[in-house]
Amino acid sequence: MKKNNLLSGIGILILLMSFTTKAQFTPGNLVVLQIGNGVGTLTNTGNALIFNEYSTSGSPTFSVAVPTTGANAMVLRGNATSEGYISRSADGNNIVFGGYMQALPNTTIINTSASSAINRGVGLINGSGTYTIGANSTSFFTGGDIRGAAATDASNLWASGSNQGMNYFGTVSTATLVESTKTNLRASNIFNNQLYISSQVASGTPADIGVYSVGSGTPNTSGQSVVTVINCGTGAQPGQFYFNNSGTICYVADARNTSSGGIQKWVFSSSTWSLAYTLPTGTAAIGAFGVVADFSGTNPVVYATTTESSSNRLIAIQDIGASSTATTLATASTSNTIFRGLAFSPSTTTCVPASIATTTNNAPVCSEQNLTFNITTNGSAPITYAWAGQGVFSSTSVPNPTVANSSTGAYTITVSNACGTASSAINVTINPTPTIQVNAATICSGGVVTITATGANTYTWNNATNVSSFTASPASTTNYTVNGTSIDGCAANQATTSITVVSSPSISVNSATICAGANATLIASGASTYTWSNTQNSAIIVVSPSTTTTYTVDGNASGCPSSVSATATIVVNALPSPSINLSQQIFCISQKSITLSGSPSGGVFTGSFVSGSVFSPTVAGSYSITYSYTNASGCSKAVAQTFTVSGCVSVDEPLNNLKELSVYPNPAGNILYVKSSDNSPAKYTVYDVSSRKVMELDVNANNNSFDISTLAPGIYFIQSNSSKNLRVKFIKE
């Protein structure tokens, strides 16, 4: 037993000799929890805890070993990837960590032990390197892990573990289980006076994997609610996390040894946390366990411990985006040591919490002016500033920013240092910039308009007028510009109006010459609306006067009236009156051709079998012949005549005894008179040109008038029944 203790002590001594002989921590450096002293195997019965300090360039500077023997001994499991989350107290004076109060060597599996047998405790190491037990419990986390710890100072301590929620270990109030809705926790820390925890499981409430707030501020009583702040998503393995002072950026160590692992960067905007990207650790498919960040520069510098199973690393990443690369600062030296939690070095002096002494501003101001703030603070340096409010800040991290586009309401300043945070709300009044409105108008030439501006208290026009309203009568379209100020003296926006001057229209319209019965199109131009003397009101009208007529149109352009009498004169030329001159309308085909005659002469005949003025039918039937005539005015008219062409069968025989029988009138209408020379009674038969009998006539002195209305128009023959040589031809019209 003594030999093992000796070897353990030698291992720790050799390890410490690799660091400088400085007697305290240096603020701004990094503190890494190393589990294992390089001698004993990493085991579940407990391993030594060594807190190594490195400069931000990776140089070892200081180291503190936690006792493994005696009443204050504290150890952790070296083979557990869930233990060893550390933090720096909110006052900046101590490194805070949880552990098992068990001396080595030990044969009991420490995390399954009862806490009454192996107490769970919270350890503190101050800036001088002095280790103390801050508090311990004989009941908390019994039969389970203690994993992470946080503190506001040396008297108020909290710890997270596997089988309970968040426990208050402090000495100011009664030790208590603060929350129990979310268990199986990982890291814990305090940022901006708010207690946070993380978990890698969805069980419990809330059912998310990520980072959560516990109650409001730093509660030390039971029944606190747990609220998801960052939901890292299914499969994520969040460990340590680190917020900036304004609470708008948080880096979360994701322990997954996959391409998804590394350091997640979350950004708060528009009331929502969003994952910006994940920074790689410099080795493919290796995640991160602990993380802190320095936000003092233009680009944050992120420090993390990685999750290799051995020889894991302390790395640094300057965050310039998703393509940022990691630099290795230090490596756990042997298979019997492992790096776990990470924190900034504690302060070596007593820290005075930051507070706000005075606040001043230049409000009320006009909205177009810049709002300026200035505050003075008390507390230990360095003090950081975080402003919030509407508008564009020259900087949100200085004590005296200017704000453009500010608004009436509250602006918040939060000041922080290593041991405290303070906030103040400053209510300001921003006088609105008046908005000037001015009317526009359209007037006719010679018209007068009233121009009126509203929305300001005083007015200055570009025509040297200093009133809100005036009259103007511009000769042409003119712009007027006005500036104004409010009753608070705030300059208004400049407004411009245009007075459009419309000249009276000059209307033009065409004339036309047409023939009687034809249409004429009249087109007026030069105005926007029209009214014609025939009551039509479009720009284009169609008329059909029977005689030469004058039309008048009135016009209107944009409300400016004008009337013109345009000799829309429509000249109407008379149509000719052609006719066809014929002695008869029924012809025998044996006549071969007929010369056509029309008046006035000089017209044109058209129709079947018509050539020029000759009609030469070759087939019996009815034909329509048209005669068209154009007069000297270019006006044309056509007339049509129907002609009957008969075959005239047997009518070519010589007609004898014509003097013994007469018929009249010839051509006849509906009544035909037949008379023999001696008025003696006789019977006659009427034949058509095809020798078909169509009527019988009984002629005597008392009966010589016959109704032939039933006969169709054409050529007919009357033949004596007693003599075939007595035959007369007549025409029925």
Question: pLDDT at position 654, please?
Answer: 39
Amino acid sitting at position 419: C
Mean pLDDT of the chain: 87
Assign 587 a pLDDT band (cuts: 50, 70, 90).
low
Residue closest to 527 by CA, chosen among 553, 506, 502: 506
- Token reading at 616: 């030469």
Place of tokens 């000037």: 436
Does residue 629 surpass a pLDDT of 80?
Answer: yes
Question: pLDDT at position 565, please?
Answer: 54
Question: pLDDT at position 590, please?
Answer: 64
Question: pLDDT at position 697, please?
Answer: 86
Each residue's pLDDT tens digit, 645-667? 766 543 333 344 444 677 878 88
Does residue 232 surpass a pLDDT of 50?
Answer: yes
Assign 515 a pLDDT band (cuts: 50, 70, 90).
confident
The average pLDDT across 379-395 equals: 91
Does residue 497 surpass a pLDDT of 90?
Answer: no
> What's the CA gap between 246 and 415, in Å, rounded?
9
- What is the second-level CATH architecture of the domain 437-502? Sandwich (2.60)
> What's the CA gap between 337 and 87, in Å, rounded?
20
Question: pLDDT at position 251, please?
Answer: 98
Each residue's pLDDT tens digit, 157-210? 999 999 999 999 977 889 999 999 999 999 999 999 999 999 999 999 999 999
Question: pLDDT at position 586, please?
Answer: 65
More confident residue, 554 or 83: 83
Each residue's pLDDT tens digit, 13-35? 444 445 544 579 999 999 999 99
More confident residue, 724 or 698: 698
More confident residue, 545 or 446: 545
State percent of the chain over pLDDT 70.
Answer: 91
Amino acid sitting at position 517: G
More confident residue, 450 or 15: 450
The per-residue DSSP string of 427-474 comes to EE-EEPPP--EE--EEEETT--EEEEEESSSEEEETTS--SSEEEE--
The average pLDDT across 446-471 equals: 85
The average pLDDT across 545-565 equals: 72
The average pLDDT across 232-247 equals: 96
Does residue 585 surpass a pLDDT of 90?
Answer: no
| Residues 539 and 523 sit within 8 Å (Cβ to Cβ) | yes
| Residues 30 and 53 sit within 8 Å (Cβ to Cβ) | yes
Question: pLDDT at position 583, please?
Answer: 60
Q: Is residue 178 classed exposed, middle or buried when 0-12, 13-18 and 19+ CB atoms within 10 A define those classes?
A: buried
More confident residue, 525 or 183: 183
Sign of CA dihedral 449, 455, 457, 459: negative
Residues 6 or more apart in contact with residue 531 via CB below 8 angstroms: 537, 553, 554, 555
Could you please state the CATH topology (level 3) that the domain comprising 658-732 is classified under. Immunoglobulin-like (2.60.40)
> What's the CA gap between 615 and 374, in Å, rounded?
119
Angle at 8 between CA 5 and CA 14, to 5 degrees: 140
Does residue 410 surpass a pLDDT of 90?
Answer: yes
Write the DSSP symbol of residue 291.
E
Question: pLDDT at position 329, please?
Answer: 98
Question: pLDDT at position 457, please?
Answer: 83
The per-residue DSSP string of 19-35 comes to S---SS--TTSEEEEEE
Does residue 560 surpass a pLDDT of 90?
Answer: no
Assign 624 a pLDDT band (cuts: 50, 70, 90).
confident
Does residue 61 surpass a pLDDT of 90?
Answer: yes
* Region of poorest pLDDT, from 218-227, 443-452, 524-533, 588-597: 588-597
**The domain 355-431 is classified under which CATH number: 3.40.50.1100, 2.60.40.10, 3.30.410.40, 3.20.20.70?**
2.60.40.10
Could you please state the CATH topology (level 3) that the domain comprising 2-344 is classified under. Neuraminidase (2.120.10)
Question: pLDDT at position 4, please?
Answer: 41
Each residue's pLDDT tens digit, 93-120? 999 999 999 999 999 999 999 999 999 9
Question: pLDDT at position 584, please?
Answer: 60
The average pLDDT across 445-469 equals: 85
Does residue 278 surpass a pLDDT of 70?
Answer: yes
Question: pLDDT at position 3, please?
Answer: 37
Assign 458 a pLDDT band (cuts: 50, 70, 90).
confident
Place of tokens 């995640």: 287
* Region of poorest pLDDT, from 10-14, 37-41, 98-102: 10-14
Assign 622 a pLDDT band (cuts: 50, 70, 90).
confident
Q: Which H/E stretch holds residue 190?
A: strand 185-191
How many other β-carbons are positioned within 10 Å of the β-carbon of residue 209?
21
Each residue's pLDDT tens digit, 465-474? 888 888 888 8
* Residue 619 Rama label (left phi>0; alpha psi -120 to 50; beta): beta
> What's the CA gap between 120 and 167, in Å, rounded?
11
